[in-house]
A and B are shown apart, each in its own frame.
Chain A
Amino acid sequence: MSQSSTHPYQSRPGIRRAAERIAFWMLRVCTYAVLACGVFVLSDVVFKGARAVFRSEFPFVNVTFFTEAPESLHVFDYEGRKVEMGDREFRAFRHRESQKAAAENREPLPIESQSFVYSAGGILPCIVGTVLLTVGATVIALLLGISSAVYLSEYARQGTMVRFMRLAILNLAGVPSIVFGLFGMGLFVIYLKWNVSLLAGWFTLAFMVLPLVITASEEALKAVPKGFREASLALGATPWQTIRKAVLPHALSGMLTSSILCVARVAGETAPIMFTAAYVVRDKLPWQGLEHFGDFFFQGVMALPYHIYVVSSKIPQNDYTQRTQYGAAFVFLLIVGLIAASSIILRGKLRQRQTW
């Protein structure tokens, strides 16, 4: 060992060597600084949000946070204590107080309360809206995207049209999400008169992720070896039979896995749904109070990202309001993060498994 380490070409310690090590260390610091920033943001939201979402006693979860709509929070002094109440509870309480006062034949005690909008109750309608928006947009995007990818990778021959399509896909991927929002507003909300509705949101979001889905699906199709197709065609199968039996089954898992990342994008975007699908507040859940089945698609919903935008920009930051803000951000991050993480992990697994 000691002999081999003194060979003539061995790098000797010196200024150059030190400079190299310093440079490498700087690059390492860069990398870990990025990771640290990410971890810091995540942990801040997670730790502060967990306080709003979890409880120390049974059932360990803040149930009202997941089962109620947002309402105003009232904070007031009562018998020398600070009391916090949601809007409905507060009204019932005031009613009780005035009855008690009437029974005792005295004026009801004046209750001076500070109120903060959207800071009590829960975020059920927002979660429901986000899930509906995500599912619908994903279905549309996957149908359109996977079909396009099949055409581009299996059928299309190089030509002007295909080059044009690829250019369009690449450019569509770079269009800012707010421009998609404007487009959705111009086409669906105004021109087609769908108003602010689920359907308008679905299509806007689906078009936004379409290029991502197409690129991801095409990659999965390209990963299927050419021999599979050639063998199938040689056996006399038609192109469609080849695709259905020999290509898609092998590519589908890859397509879906990569597309999950697009689902995270759909769930996480705010700008496209601001003018097309999201309401600031709506007291009914989407399936309540429908006259026709068709009305379901033509109603606006509350959405979690838009709710976070509203609560963080429209109401002041203080101890009372921050709890629900962090809670909503935490739940949202949890949903999006789980989707994204599953995509990243599954993709890693898939790469290891494919051995053709």
Chain B
Amino acid sequence: MPPEKINSVAAFPVTFRPGRYAGLTGNQVVRGFFGGNAIVSVVVLGLITLFLLREGHGFFGQNRRNLEIYRAAGLEFVDILKRQEEGFGSLNRTLFEIRLAAGREKEPGSPMATAAELEAFDAYASELGDAAGPLRELVGELVETASAIKTKLVMNEDRLAERQHLLATGRQSEAGSIRIETIDSEAELRPLLESRARHSAISGSLAKSLVELSERMPSMSAPELQVLLGEFGELLRDYVASFPGIERQLAEWRHDREVSIFSAITAFLFGREWLTASFWQDWYGVLPLVTGSFLISLIALGLAVPLGVGAAVYVNQIARPSERSAIKPCIEFISAIPSVVLGFFGIAVLGEALRKVSHIAWLEWIPGFPIAERLNALTAGCLLGLIAVPIIFSLAEDALQNVPKSFKEASLALGASRIQTVVRIILPAGISGIISAVLLGLGRVIGETMVVLLCAGNRIAIPDFSAGPGVMTQPVHTMTGIIAQEMGEVVQGGIHYRALFAVGILLFCLSLMINLTAQRILGRYRLLSS
């Protein structure tokens, strides 16, 4: 057929001439509409990052300023002395504990130490307590000086901010009327720096008297007490040995040494204290919150992983079809229980129930029992476990479902028993799916807010890990909890507000990391099975 003929096919009886809107065919418009909607998820993810950073990025600058003032006002200097004083306080407490032990009755009617021994001990203790009098006095004076300098610096800072605000809004004359004092840090800090000589005299005499005291320990007849006293003498000598270090720190201290932005970041990430609205110094260290979050997650996963994976194996491999179709929706329904209801249940029932159980005498061998606080990491962890179980269950069950049937059949045909098939064939084949299920459960548990806010006890401190597994029964605070609890009370744009957003950024990054890891593991698994 000649080529001209083909061109005349335009006269095809059913011609379709698309209408055009702004140069696009109708189909392109529709496609564009759907495509635009699909981009929303990308945009939202971008916006979340953007707005968290927008509100949170200022934190590090502000925290740096916060630390600069801490240094410039000499609070850091005083804190070195305060630590020395606190070291003495802990010595005193140790001595007090020995006193308590001495007064305790070993056998009914006879305390471990005789009355004469106790009297000598008390005299010794009071002599030791008096030794640090001058140091306490010095610290008290310096605290006041430093606080005064800090107040001045902060007021100046506020005035500067106000003037900048006025200038920005174009009120020049008002801005001019705000006087900003120039603070001569050298002069202000002179009393602090001059106190160094006094301090070295004080600490010299303290060291002398402590050494002298350590040489004439009161003697106790009971061997246990003697051991305790020996340990105390050791502590005393260590304490005295730390004095030169303190003096060196004081001598090296400079008020104008620069605070780098890096140290502002490390102070946030690795700071051991989250202390706000304090009269001395605010600290924004996220470490107690991170440990709290992970401790609770650990408890929750410790409960949820065996239960969730076990239930998945049971439902997928062992249960009869009718049982299976009944159990699956029930476990799914558990995931629909709102977390705030679970939190309420924890407050109203579980916390008290756990505490009562922990006070049963024959359960005392369990570490951490009896529980002192009604609301603690264990209460929150149990409830979060209940939240994580359905997630882990359904994802793990999917993973087991995806294991090709031929694997199981081959194993059974070779004569393996059902338990052998499950443990040696099905579980290894589905392991990456199960691991990613656990990771996604972890992501959910770390991000959960209401349960931890209501049930974790909300004490901002790094839990005492020296208690072993008993650490589980201590109250903690979490990253999500602190945001929910404090966000309502902070000034917009202040350092505290920005610190909470910084915690949000950390949480966001953490969840992204967990999620990406889970997906990577799952992706590898898909490649294997296909």
A residues bordering B, Cβ < 8 Å?
A: 9, 11, 16-17, 19-20, 23-24, 26-28, 30-31, 33-35, 37-38, 41-42, 44-45, 143-144, 147-148, 150-152, 154-156, 164-165, 168-183, 185-187, 190-191, 207, 210-211, 214, 236, 238-240, 261, 264, 267-271, 274-275, 305, 308-309, 312-313, 317, 322, 325-326, 329, 332-333, 336-337, 339-341, 344-345, 348
Contact = CB atoms under 8 A, between A and B. Distances in A.
16 contacts: A9-B415, A24-B419, A33-B307, A38-B333, A148-B41, A170-B519, A173-B515, A174-B443, A175-B508, A176-B447, A182-B51, A185-B487, A268-B337, A332-B338, A336-B337, A340-B336
Interface in B446-467: 446-450, 453-454
A165 B349 contact: no
A24 B318 contact: yes
Contacts of A274: 484, 487-488
B44 A172 contact: yes
A88 to B, nearest CB: 27
Contacts of A322: 348
Q: Which 9 A/B pairs are nearest by Cβ-Cβ distance?
A: A176-B447, A268-B338, A30-B310, A340-B336, A147-B37, A151-B34, A174-B515, A186-B51, A27-B314
A217 to B, nearest CB: 11
Given A176-B448, A274-B487, A148 B27 contact: no
A157 to B, nearest CB: 11
B333 A337 contact: yes
Given A147-B38, A238-B27, A31 B310 contact: yes
Contacts, number: 270
B515 A155 contact: no
Contact of B483 (A24, A37, A147, A178): A178
B515 A170 contact: yes
B47 A305 contact: no
The B interface, classified by DSSP as helix, strand, loop or mixed, is: helix
Given A156-B38, A178-B480, A211-B41, A44 B344 contact: no
A186 B501 contact: yes
B41 A210 contact: yes
Interface in B356-396: 386, 389, 393
A336 B336 contact: yes
Contacts of A207: 44
Nearest to A187: B51
B450 A34 contact: no
A16 B417 contact: yes
A147 B33 contact: yes
Contacts of A144: 37, 40
Given A30-B306, A155-B34, A274-B487, A333 B341 contact: yes
A30 B27 contact: no
Nearest to A38: B334
Given A20-B417, A20-B418, A176 B52 contact: no
A264 B333 CA distance: 11
Given A27-B314, A264-B336, A329-B341, A155 B31 contact: yes
B327 interface: yes
B327 to A, nearest CB: 6
Nearest to B515: A174
Contacts of A181: 483-484
Contact of A30 (B311, B386, B492, B516): B311
B73 to A, nearest CB: 32
A147 B311 CA distance: 36
Contacts of B342: 41
A329 to B, nearest CB: 5
Nearest to A145: B37
A37 B26 CA distance: 55
B440 interface: yes
A340 B389 CA distance: 17
Interface string B21-54: 0000011001101110111111011011001101
